[in-house]
Structure 1
Amino acid sequence: MRRIDVHHHFFPSDLQKEKINKDVGWLTPAENLPWTPALSLKSMDESGIDYAILSLPALTTGAVSSENRTQARERNIYASDICKLHPQRFGFFATLPFLDDHTGVLAEVSYALDELNADGFALPSSQGEGICAKYIGDETYDPLWAELDRRKAVVFLHGAQVPSSTPCPHALLGVPITEVPNETFKAAAHLVVTGRKRKYPNVKVILAHLGGSTPFLAARVAILSRHMGCNLTPEEILEDFRSFYYETALSAYTTNLQAIDGFIPRENLLFGTDFPGM
């Protein structure tokens, strides 16, 4: 059986990864910066990984602009070029312009799938900042979900690096540690309780990091969101949570794996590493 890493980032030079790290309280291993395809191949060979699907870390901020469209296109071409050089080792999840840009987003979906042969799309849990942010299950994004559903596309859903409204509890507990896993859960739960996971059943959604806190909070959603007026029954809510795919990056601990194994079908469990380090 081939070992396929579905959670494997690439860091183009314009990403300014060091600045992002400083803003969210994280340290990518120094030996992995600046990132190159050769670094990934070396790690893959040492770990017995046959194939990796490249994606950008979840990005949430932006604006509807030609510059934003151009940046997404350039990053997708960059990833596609790497895959062309190493077709037996890399695929990629395409990035999209700021999701409020419906015209630009749908154009990039078409280009990424039809011209670049992308394996799917990497989406953050939300778009925008502060009280203006919207989770990706918001009705604003229905045109995107409808097209992804029509295309039977794959979505890699990664929690956004969104700071909490309260201070970080400690320097050793930065945003990627404490907030990102919960952002993944909130986006997944939002897709479920709004009915959009059920409305667009042809989209295969992969939740990063075993879904963050999803396996442990899904039953809470099933009971309490139904109590609060969700149209789905508790059984339907749990069924929709089980229909996600879950990958193992930074989560392959005995307790976590036992929990997920008792929650989802075995075929919905995927392998991921999070190389080269968020």
Structure 2
Amino acid sequence: MKTQAIDTHAHIYPSWYLDELERIGVNPETAKIARIPGADSTETDLADRFEWMTKAGVARQVLAVTPQIPSGNHAEGSLRAAQMINDHYAELVATYPDKFSAYGALPLPFIEESLSEIARIFDELHFRGVSITTVLPTGVGLDDPLFDPVWEELNRRGAVVNIHPTGSGAYSPLITNSRLEWVNGAPVEDGVAVLHLLKAAVPERFPKITFHLAHLGGDILFMFQRLEDNFTDWGAFESSPQKNIRSMYFDAANFYEPSLRLAVEAVGASQIMGGSDHPYFQHSHYERAFDYIRSARLQEEEKQAILSENAVRLLGLPEPDSRGEGK
């Protein structure tokens, strides 16, 4: 029997929702990558998902619709799309309470609409947090003052904020011209998003927000000492990057054991959570996402913390029992 895990990095992309994104003005090319087998919420897709969760020893998935965010040409349509997908995720959680939890989606860059949806996400839908992208379709990064009212409200609520890359290649032609958006563009986005938060002093200004970064934070932990040196020697940041980064959580959707051990050394096993990036990693690759943690050269208590305990603590989830069910 495999040690049961919680998958904090998983997606469901209903085809009707992707159609709605195109109707509100989202570029069809950005949604194309989500139109893959196993990504929908049909009965067949869910049955396949649950089968592989069982094989992988995964008791629960935490769902996020990012990077397919409800960010269209106009506020009204974007809010409607956000409400549609949030309601659908709420239905999935209610139907499969032992299988799913969820992050809510926001209709950014529309601030008033995002604030109203934050209230609904927490007060009516009772989601675990929100999921946003590393950069908006307009090219606006997380360091932009545009976000401040959203940060203020999320801080007031003590929210968890999941951050996911977009596949935009960080809007760099050095990445996009060679079609490297998902090869190294995604982890570049992860790292840049953390740097934007640090440069804008978001962790200091909004200390009740807890950030959950995808893919072990991209290259950010590899540069752990470099960042601190740039703070102490060159004044590149207002306060210690290492201190602020150690307050963040990182999912282990990286799949390379040396990278996992580096992350544990940098921020501690208490800040790492299991994650797969399902449905982009399915079947045997889905099993690998958690088996590589189970077989890692770490202490058993560290592996248990990563597989489930940290997610239970951060997101207020039920502990998985030996049969992979919530208790």
Normalised TM-score (structure 2):
0.74
Query: 2:14 maps to what in 1?
Result: 12
- Whether the aligned pair in 2 keeps the contact of 1:210 and 1:246 (CA below 8 Å) is yes
Matched ranges for 1:1-278 at <5 A: 2-13=4-15, 14-15=17-18, 23=29, 31-35=37-41, 36-59=45-68, 61-98=71-108, 100-129=109-138, 133-163=139-169, 164-166=172-174, 168=176, 170=178, 174-224=180-230, 229-233=235-239, 236-249=240-253, 251-277=254-280
Go from structure 1 to structure 2 and tell me whether the alpha carbon gap of 1:51 and 1:33 turns closer, same or farther (over 3 Å shift).
closer
Go from structure 1 to structure 2 and tell me whether the alpha carbon gap of 1:22 and 1:248 turns closer, same or farther (over 3 Å shift).
farther
Segment of structure 1 superposing worse, 68-77 or 152-161 = 152-161
Provide the rounded CA distance (Å) in 1 between the counterparts of 2:145 and 2:175: 31
Go from structure 1 to structure 2 and tell me whether the alpha carbon gap of 1:267 and 1:86 turns closer, same or farther (over 3 Å shift).
same
Provide the rounded CA distance (Å) in 1 between the counterparts of 2:246 and 2:133: 20
> Displacement, 1:40?
2.2
Provide the rounded CA distance (Å) in 2 between the counterparts of 1:62 and 1:223: 40
Runs of 4+ in 1 over 6 A off after TM superposition: 19-22, 24-29
Provide the rounded CA distance (Å) in 1 between the counterparts of 2:241 and 2:212: 17
Describe the superposition over 1:7-36 as per-residue Cα deviations: whole angstroms up to 9, x where unpaired. Answer: 01001113259x999947996795425453
Provide the rounded CA distance (Å) in 1 between the counterparts of 2:264 and 2:159: 25
| Structure 1 alignment gaps of length 5 or more | none
> Displacement, 1:37?
2.8
Identity over the aligned pairs, expressed in percent?
Answer: 23
- Whether the aligned pair in 2 keeps the contact of 1:8 and 1:274 (CA below 8 Å) is yes
> Displacement, 1:160?
1.9
Normalised TM-score (structure 1):
0.86
| Structure 2 alignment gaps of length 5 or more | 282-327
- Whether the aligned pair in 1 keeps the contact of 2:11 and 2:277 (CA below 8 Å) is yes
Go from structure 1 to structure 2 and tell me whether the alpha carbon gap of 1:112 and 1:46 turns closer, same or farther (over 3 Å shift).
same
- Whether the aligned pair in 1 keeps the contact of 2:230 and 2:237 (CA below 8 Å) is no
Provide the rounded CA distance (Å) in 2 between the counterparts of 1:25 and 1:150: 33
Query: 2:319 maps to what in 1?
Result: none
